[in-house]
Amino acid sequence: MNKTELKKNWNKVLSLLPQDQMTRIRIDTWFRPLQPYRLHEEGGVIYFSSPDGDNFTAGLVRRNENMLGPAVEQVFGRPYRIEVRDQKETEEPAGDIPEEGGFFNPRYSFENFVSGPNNRLAVAVCLAVADEYSREYNPLFIYGGSGLGKTHLLHAIGQEVRRKHPEKRILYISSEAFVNEYVNFARTNKMEEFREKYRKLDILLFDDVQFIAGKKETENELFHTFDSLYNAGKQVVFVSDKPPKELGDIPERLITRFQMGMIADIQPPDYETRKAILIKKAEQEALTLDPDMMDVLDIIAQNIPSNIRELEGALNRVVAQGALTGEKITKQLVRKVLTEVFHTKSSEITPTAIKKEVANYFGIKVSEIESSKRSRYIAYPRQIAIYLIRKHTNLSLPRIGEEFGGRDHTTILHSYDKISEEIRLSEDLRKTVDILEHHLTEEFSTETV
């Protein structure tokens, strides 16, 4: 049984589980992120990798075996044990299991995608490609780091085109699946069929193209597939974790093809975008956005800087943990979960706490720190506060500017650089900053327990 079938069967298993609210949360938080990667007939085991590679999920699965067992048996026709392995130990590459053919994840829609300065261009061109009249972005090449929404966007294009043009032949495939398919068809002398399948497409959505590197024959096949689609005026979208020119091991002629059309990048989201994503996600989960919940979202947004998959994971964990123990979702709970699961030291060092501490230390008012007054006895503490906020929170420069009456981000950067430099030169300032930091972290640690 290949991975795609395995994954399909696993989804069937999940759909057979009871559908009450609690189980639904458990399924989405614990079981759905598990990736089945091998079925061992003789051993009667299905191996799964867990995206966070911890023992937490393995334990949960074991505890829920009496719920999973019957569903597994029903789908697979016999009982299987479920083994969760740390992803690092699994012999196959990590990553999403390709959904072959026409399946798109309904959650990965344009409506559910939050756009921000980090991904605006990519979203704009994806929308244009999904629109029947744009053929100018061909091929479209999107690149960006892991968990930043590349696969989401590919699915969104696919679903949008399918909605508007059900007759169009759309295929989403990842390089891993493409390579496997190529190998299978080649082995069974069915290359004609393979070519037929790919060359009659209207849109090819090709995910994680970087993984094709080094697979000579498949690269060659992709090259010809691309040319025949492109020459027939068909749309091709490539996704990669690197820009074309950094795709070292891929032949030059293929790289040239990647660069022929439009290239758009996705950068890690800034704080506002992270917060907006969490709010959207919370709304989807029908969570009440009361002040407590907003605080919780804020802490997550501040502590998980770059990966949106982790951002969602953190929220899911917090919600599941809350539902499980009946605890109200509070700052304390979120800190506990963040530290446990993400090994992130969740800091309660907020801009407000920093401004208060600094104002207190220098005997001035917070409102003065935030003001535009320029006298040195206020400007200097303000620069120190800016320095501390930049150092201890993940706020973007513009966002820090907002904390100080809408100052320009260049002013913020200047203050930060100035204080960093002075700390190196002045023993006095170093001591001052030490004391401030000590106070701030102490406040945090007494609050956590």
Site of interaction with ligand ADP (CB under 6 A): 108, 112-114, 119, 144, 146-152, 277, 308-309, 312
Which one of Mg ion, ligand ADP, none is in contact with 265 (Cβ closer than 5 to 8 A by kind)? none
| Shortest distance (Å) from residue 164 CB to Mg ion | 24
Question: Closer to Mg ion at the Cβ: 119 or 346?
Answer: 119
Task: Give the list of residues 6+ apart from residue 68 with CB closer than 8 angstroms, or none.
Answer: 13, 17, 31, 61, 82
Q: Which does 335 bind (CB under 5 to 8 A by kind): ligand ADP, Mg ion, none?
A: none
- As measured in angstroms, the least distance from the Cβ of 151 to Mg ion is 3
Please give the residue ranges that form the binding site for Mg ion (CB under 5 A): 150-151
Report the partner that residue 108 touches, choosing among Mg ion, ligand ADP, none (CB closer than 5 to 8 A by kind). Answer: ligand ADP
The binder of 85, among ligand ADP, Mg ion, none, by C-beta within 5 to 8 A per type, is none
Which position's Cβ is nearest ligand ADP? 149
- Shortest CB 366 distance to ligand ADP, Å: 34
Report d(CA 250, CA 330) in Å as an integer.
49
Cα–Cα distance for residue pair 365/381, rounded to 1 Å? 11
What's the closest the beta carbon of residue 97 comes to ligand ADP, in angstroms?
A: 12
Please, which residue, 156 or 440, has the CB nearer to ligand ADP? Answer: 156
In whole angstroms, how close is the CB of 307 to ligand ADP at the nearest point? 8
- For Mg ion, give the closer residue by CB, 69 or 95: 95
Q: Is 287 or 354 the residue whose CB approaches ligand ADP more closely?
A: 287
Q: Answer with the entry of ligand ADP, Mg ion, none that 98 interacts with (C-beta below 5 to 8 A by kind).
A: none
CA-CA distance, 9 to 160, in Å (whole number)? 26
Give the one entry of ligand ADP, Mg ion, none that residue 317 binds, where binding means its C-beta sits below a cut-off of 5 to 8 angstroms depending on kind: none
Residue 200 in contact with residue 169, Cβ under 8 Å? yes
Q: Measured from the CB of residue 314, what is the shortest distance to ligand ADP in angstroms?
A: 12
CA nearest 418: which of 405, 403, 433? 433
Residue/partner pairs of 379-385 with CB below 8 Å, 24 or more apart: 382/415, 383/415, 383/418, 383/419, 384/358, 384/419, 384/429, 384/432, 384/433, 384/436, 385/354, 385/355, 385/358, 385/359
When the beta carbons of 123 and 161 are compared against ligand ADP, the nearer one is 123
Reported for 312-320, long-range contacts at CB under 8 A and 24+ positions apart, including other chains, are 312/277, 312/281, 313/33, 313/51, 313/52, 313/341, 314/338, 314/341, 314/342, 315/278, 315/281, 315/282, 316/28, 316/29, 317/29, 317/341, 319/25, 319/29, 319/285, 319/287, 320/25, 320/26, 320/29, 320/30
- Residue 147's binding partner, choosing from Mg ion, ligand ADP, none, with beta-carbon cut-off 5 to 8 A by kind? ligand ADP
In the complex, the smallest distance separating the C-beta of residue 335 from ligand ADP, rounded to whole angstroms, is 23
